[in-house]
Amino acid sequence: MNKKELLLKLFKGYIVIFLGIIIVTLGYVVFNLLNPLVFSFVIDNIIDQQPIKNPLISNLIIKLGGVSYLRSNLWITALFIIIIFLFIGTFLYFRGRWNAKLSEGVVERLRNWLYEHLSLLPYSYHVTAKTGDLIQRCTSDVNQLRRMLGNQISELVFALGTAIIAVFILFSIYPKMAWLSMISMPLIIIMAYFFFAKIQSVFQISDEAEGAMSETFQNSLNGTRVVKAFNRERFELEKFEKKNRIFRDNTLKVIRVLGAYWSLSDTICLLQILLIVIVGIFEARSGRISIGDFFVFVSYESMILWPIRNVGRVLADMGKVSIALDRILEILNEPIEDIENGLQPTLSGKIVFDHVYFRYDDANEDVLKDLTFTIMPKQTIAIIGPTGSGKSSLVHLLTRLYDYRQGHILMDDVELRSIQRKHLRRNVGIVLQEPFLFSKSIYDNIKIANPTAKQEQIHRAAQMASIHEVINEFDQGYQTMVGEKGVTLSGGQKQRIAIARTIINSCPILIFDDSLSAVDTETDAYIRDALKAVNDDITTILITHRISSIQNADLILVLDHGEIVQRGTHDDLIDQDGLYKRIYQIQSSILAKENE
């Protein structure tokens, strides 16, 4: 999708309003230009009693009672001027109203599209994207379009309409001075063109610098606990000041370009008006133009020059919008994840890995290599291994956050790639190592996984996660607000609420991605026993570093450098020399020392 296609989609349903803005703006132009002509007529033809050359105007004046009658009743012309201003005010009202309706409506649609598209982008995109930059694109860049639609389009129509009509009228009055009044126009237009080209490049640099500053600011706020724990406030401040200084310097370049254009164009416009005033005085003294016509020239000169000069500002904003749309399209042109298409088989929990290989897009080597194993329904399977052995990558494959490169993964004899992602994630519950809680009540955080869940289901899920009694001890119970990212709760409390949120859906496959490490061994055992007691049909996959959590597993897989180096039950593995036995001995030794 390019910028033209995006704008056509955004303007769908707003074309009538857009045309209405053009019409009322042109109406405003006509009546605004009519006002000096009325004053000119009053000065030359009513007060000075010069003959009326235009037959249409002459007939109209006769119908109104003639020049003498109007001279004796100047209130009629005053009333006519008031009517003109009433029309001008009406046109301005509708222009402002429709400008607002167009800009806010289009931008609302764009924001919704951006948010929807971001939510549908694959996990791999969000892993590499910078959150601060995405926020800046969805706010500051979108607002560039809002400002453009809110004022600049009608300003451009006003400037061009005023220039074209006014020049036509001036040539009909006195061609010699009309040519003179246009001397500076080509120069201003050329300046505006070069200004437009220059402002695009400097604004893009400034916009990107603002995104980098926003990213630094957000990272610092998100990591407040770490920053304070290690006394890194000064370091973070200096880092932010550096990004802020870069943004300031780049923004000053934009301001300098704007200042150069405005000052130079203002000087040219003022000199042009001065030229018309001086020449007009001599022409009026010599009788080649009337006082009224001189008044029209001076009035129209300002009406023409300032809007034409403002075209440079409109072009500058167009340049900013062009850059902003490019940055927005970088998001919208990213291919979204297909979560709707695919098979929806009944999943009982049988999983088969058949010579599976996987590597990340930016990696040169496989993270998982030749994985082959089978998980039967109702079984509890444990996966253990050192950091970086590929445990979490395996989980990513099961929920299709990533797709495997080679081999086959079957769920109930159906190829995983052919299963609808939405259906798969509805049946595979996962509790992550780092739980994320929304800034809502505990009740809402648990219910978010199943909006139709009743209170009894929520309480039962909390009991199974061994957090129900803790919640009841809070002053507001389940209505206790957890704060942003759950900062008001301990790590173990957040983890158990996340577990309750997952198990409320009664998924046939449940994965604990090292998520029980934040709770003690006794609570760990209680949670797993509670799950089995309520639903013995669950296939459970435990990913952990803690051997005490997996001793009763039906099958233990030991991963190292992406390969299965050992497999079997706990009793089988401690009788074998290998990685599992070494981990067991180390953890047993540590536990013995703690007991002493």
We report the CATH number of the domain holding residue 445 as 3.40.50.300
Beta strands in 200-290 (DSSP E): none
Q: 254 near 206, Cβ under 8 Å?
A: yes
Which pLDDT score is estimated for 94? 93
Instruction: Give the chain's domain count.
Output: 2
In a domain, 222, yes or no: yes
Do residues 305 and 378 share a domain?
no
Decide if 360 is inside a domain: yes
Domain that holds residue 48: 3-332
Alpha carbons 193 and 199: distance in angstroms, whole number: 10
Helix (H) or strand (E) run with residue 407 in it:
strand 406-411
Q: Give Rg (Cα) of the chain.
A: 37
Residue 24's pLDDT is 92
Q: Within a domain: residue 283?
A: yes
Domain shared by 485 and 552, yes or no: yes
pLDDT at 61: 64
* Secondary structure (3-state) at 121: coil
Residues forming beta bridges with residue 356, ordered by sequence position = 371
Task: State whether 502 and 572 are in the same domain.
Answer: yes
pLDDT recorded at residue 304 = 74
> Are both 287 and 356 inside the same structural domain?
no
Asked whether residue 362 falls in the same domain as residue 225, the answer is no
Determine the Cα–Cα distance for residues 589 and 584; give it in Å rounded to an integer.
8
Ordered mean pLDDT values, 10 residues apiece, the chain (596 residues)? 83 88 90 78 68 62 66 76 88 90 88 87 80 79 83 82 80 78 76 72 78 76 66 78 87 82 80 82 78 76 73 72 84 85 88 90 84 89 85 85 89 90 86 77 84 85 83 85 69 80 83 68 64 67 81 87 88 86 80 63
| pLDDT for the residue 272 | 81
Same domain, 174 and 211: yes
pLDDT of residue 322: 82
**Domain boundary pick from 332, 362, 394:** 332
Question: In a 3-state reduction of DSSP, which class is residue 315?
Answer: helix
Same-domain check for residues 94 and 220 = yes
* pTM score of the predicted model: 0.70
Q: CA 87, CA 159: separation in Å to the nearest integer?
A: 19
What pLDDT sits at residue 54?
Answer: 55
Question: What residues does 573 pair with on adjacent strands?
Answer: none
410 and 263 within one domain: no
Are residues 453 and 519 part of one domain?
A: yes
Same domain, 323 and 420: no
Q: Is 342 part of a structural domain of the chain? A: no
Distance of CA 501 to the CA centre of its chain: 28
The domain boundary residue, chosen from 332, 366, 391? 332
- Pair 198, 306 in one domain: yes
